[in-house]
Amino acid sequence: YTNGVSKSIAKQLKVSSVGSGYKVKATLLTNGQFNKVAGNGANTYDAKKLIEIQVDGKTASTDVNMEFGPFGSTSTAEASVLNKELDVKYIGKPLNEATVKELLGNGGKDTKAKYTIDVVYTIAAN
């Protein structure tokens, strides 16, 4: 985890947009905080410190509300797409010792923790 980890989900999003191109918006629920569901660490943890998201190769600064794009031109037929599938990549940032202690708490060598956050995607015209 000192180098970070990533998980790619092929074809996670599907887009149809006629004549305008599009952008993808991502919203982190729970006000951008990971919530602990198991373990002894911090009850919440700021997502900005832990993850980065890429949509179809485009990256946005991690925040509660993110925007990826624009994809395609605006106001042309060439910008139209039907059922275009987009890959999404979730990147876990490298962890240092202090972060690990915050997330795991003061447990022993077998200590585990589980945190979750929901991401809601919205696809809109350019």
**Would you write out the chain's pLDDT as a tens digit for each of its 126 residues?**
789 999 999 999 999 988 888 999 999 999 999 999 999 999 999 999 999 999 999 999 999 999 999 988 766 777 788 999 999 999 999 999 999 999 998 877 788 999 999 999 999 988
- Quote helix, strand, coil % in the chain, to nearest 5: 15, 50, 35
Total domain count, the chain: 1
Tokens of 106: 């003061």
- C-alpha span between 11 and 116 (Å, rounded): 22
101: its two tokens: 């202690």
DSSP 78-97: GG-EEEEEEEEEEEEPP--H
Structural domain for 92, as ranges: 5-125
